[in-house]
Every structure is written in structure tokens, then in C-alpha cells.
Amino acid sequence: MAIGRSTPSSSQTPDAGAARRPSRARGIPEATVARLPLYLRALTALSERSVPTVSSEELAAAAGVNSAKLRKDFSYLGSYGTRGVGYDVEYLVYQISRELGLTQDWPVVIVGIGNLGHALANYGGFASRGFRVAALLDADPAVVGSTAAGLPVRHMDELEDIVTAQQVSIGVITTPPGAAQQVCDRLVEAGVTSILNFAPTVLTVPDGVDVRKVDLSIELQILAFHEQRKAGDEPGAGDSVLDRAPGPVRAAAAKLRRAAGGTAKAEQAKGKTAQGTEGDLSAVMPA
């Protein structure tokens, strides 16, 4: 994939100094940064089809955003396109890749080589996007020494040496939740400043360390919410909905029902007592 042009127009000549200026210094909002990979993916597909230019409407549709937002995002990069022509695809690929830091090699370590760790190690999209899997690490003796994607799985005892020798700044955690924080602490102490966390737990990190969390169960739960709405099964619609719920959900619902029933009985008994007391008082009080 080409990331530059041999003969860029004068208005689009790459600025070498700009490549060294961080996004935050240039005031690019985090929401815009989050959308840049979407634009890059769409542009890369266009580049592979040798499409020279693209309109903001076409690119916005391919990226799943509206065209006004796309134009605003690109204005932060200093790219405004050409009226009647659109955006130069190859130059935008270069510009966004530079902004995201993808014009250099980023060594990555993956910690926790279970099923997910194996899948990530074998993912072919890392190399084409500027990331190199430098090492695979695990603490399980049964896993250490095996290979994944042609790389040997090394023991966690080597973590600090690997991070230093390979100048790793990005770590990927795919361990069980109970081990994730300890692994995170060791990565940070070794010098890793960015972490992609697949473990279903919240990590605590010091200032200056960035964490991105990927929780597939949360994404599925959000989809379940939308599916429930589409089917017309509103919460509280009856036992027919709960009957299809997982065991823990049914148990929690039953507990809530018991608690609500106990509260109602207590309130009812309280009301009767108060009513009886009032009746007794009215009988002895003078008219």
C-alpha cells in the first residue's frame, strides 16, 4: 500500500515538521482521533482499487459518518479537498497514517497466549498497519515454548528484558481478569506507556499511561438491548422474557421479587398497626 505520492500538488506537499508535531499539540479532538482509523480503512480499500479521488459524501458513507463531520475532522488535518474533485486518496492515506503515527514501526508484546492471544498473534493486519508483534508472553509452563504465528511463546520472567531490548511501548493483555492488573503493573514498570486490554476488568494505571479496553461481552450486551427493543420485549414485560434469560439473571430477578414482596408485606403490616392504633386512640379520646 502506498502511503505517499510521487508528485503531490503544491497545496498538498507533505510537511515533514508537521509529522513530528503531536496531535494534542495541534488541537485535534479525541473524537476526531477515534474516527481517523475508520477513514483510513475506507481510504485503504479505495487505494487498493486504484481509485484516485473520492468525494466527502462517498468517503463518509464508506466510513459510517456524515459528510459534514468528515469535512470538519479533515479540517483539523489541514486537508480541505478540491471543489468538484474531492480528496486525493493516496495523499489522505499518507496524511492520516502520519497523524496516527503509522509511518513508523511499533513493536507490540502480547501477554496471555490462550485462544484470544493466539488469534491476535495470527492476525495479519498488524504488519500492514505499522505494528510488529515483537514477543508473545505467558506464565503457564504448558504454553511457554510453543509457537504462534511463527513466534515462540516466552516466559513472563523475560518481560522486562524484552520491553527494554525491543523498545516496546505498546502492550496487549489477553489474560484472565485475575491476572490482568499484575501484568499491567509489570508492563508499566518496564516502560510500556500504552495498553490494549482484552481482559474483562478495569485496569488502574498512573498518569501518562493510556489504556484502551476491548470487552466483547459488553458489545454483545448492547446488541442484545437493541434486539430486545426490535422484538418488542420491554423490560418488566413478564416472566416470558425472564424465562429466556441466563440463570444468574433469573436468580437476581427472583431475589428482587422476594425483596419487593417482603417490603410490601412490611408496609401492609405497618399500615394495619397504625390503623389499629388510631382506632384505639379514637375510642379513649373524648369527643
- Least-confidence region, from 25-39, 113-127, 273-287: 273-287
Position 272 confidence tier, pLDDT thresholds 50, 70, 90: low
125 annotated to bind ligand: no
Q: Would the pLDDT of 268 be above 90?
A: no
* Cell numbers found for residue 93: 492515506
pLDDT of residue 168: 95
- Least-confidence region, from 5-9, 165-169, 242-246: 5-9
Q: What is the pLDDT of residues 148-170, one digit of tens each?
A: 999 999 999 999 999 999 999 99
- Least-confidence region, from 11-20, 42-51, 122-131, 168-177: 11-20
What are the strands of the beta sheet with 151-155, ordered from one edge? Answer: 147-148, 151-155, 131-138, 106-111, 170-173, 194-197, 210-213
Q: Would the pLDDT of 20 be above 60?
A: no
* Cell numbers found for residue 7: 508528485
Stronger pLDDT, 30 or 11, i.e. the higher one: 30
197 annotated to bind ligand: no
Residue 286 phi/psi, 5° resolution? -65, 150
Cα 195 to Cα 108: distance, rounded to the nearest angstrom: 10
Percent of the chain with pLDDT over 70: 73
113 annotated to bind ligand: yes
Q: Would the pLDDT of 107 be above 70?
A: yes
Q: What is the pLDDT of residues 122-158, one digit of tens each?
A: 988 887 788 999 999 999 999 999 999 999 999 999 9
pLDDT of residue 117: 94
pLDDT of residue 169: 92
For residue 203, the Cα-to-chain-centroid distance in whole angstroms is 14
Mean pLDDT of 238-244: 58
Find out whether 70 and 59 touch, Cβ atoms under 8 Å.
yes
Position 275 confidence tier, pLDDT thresholds 50, 70, 90: low
Cα 31 to Cα 210: distance, rounded to the nearest angstrom: 15
Q: Would the pLDDT of 17 be above 70?
A: no
Q: What is the pLDDT of residues 71-95, one digit of tens each?
A: 999 999 988 788 888 999 999 999 9
Q: Which distant-in-sequence residues (6+ apart) come within 8 Å of 198 by Cβ? A: 116, 172, 173, 174, 214, 215
Average pLDDT of every residue of the chain: 81
CA dist 36 to 58, 72, 95, 99, 273, Å? Answer: 16, 12, 10, 9, 67
pLDDT of residue 24: 44
For residue 89, the Cα-to-chain-centroid distance in whole angstroms is 27
Cα 138 to Cα 174: distance, rounded to the nearest angstrom: 10
CA dist 212 to 140, 195, 201, 215, 260, Å? Answer: 25, 6, 12, 10, 39
pLDDT of residue 102: 86
One-letter amino acid at 92 equals: L
86 annotated to bind ligand: no
Stronger pLDDT, 205 or 16, i.e. the higher one: 205
114 annotated to bind ligand: yes
Q: What is the pLDDT of residues 215-236, one digit of tens each?
A: 888 889 999 998 988 887 665 5
Which has the closest alpha carbon to 59: 73, 47, 43? 43
pLDDT of residue 182: 97
CA dist 273 to 41, 208, 257, 281, 286, Å? Answer: 70, 62, 24, 12, 22
- Cα dihedral across residues 156, 161, 164, 168: positive or negative: negative
Find out whether 65 and 18 touch, Cβ atoms under 8 Å.
no
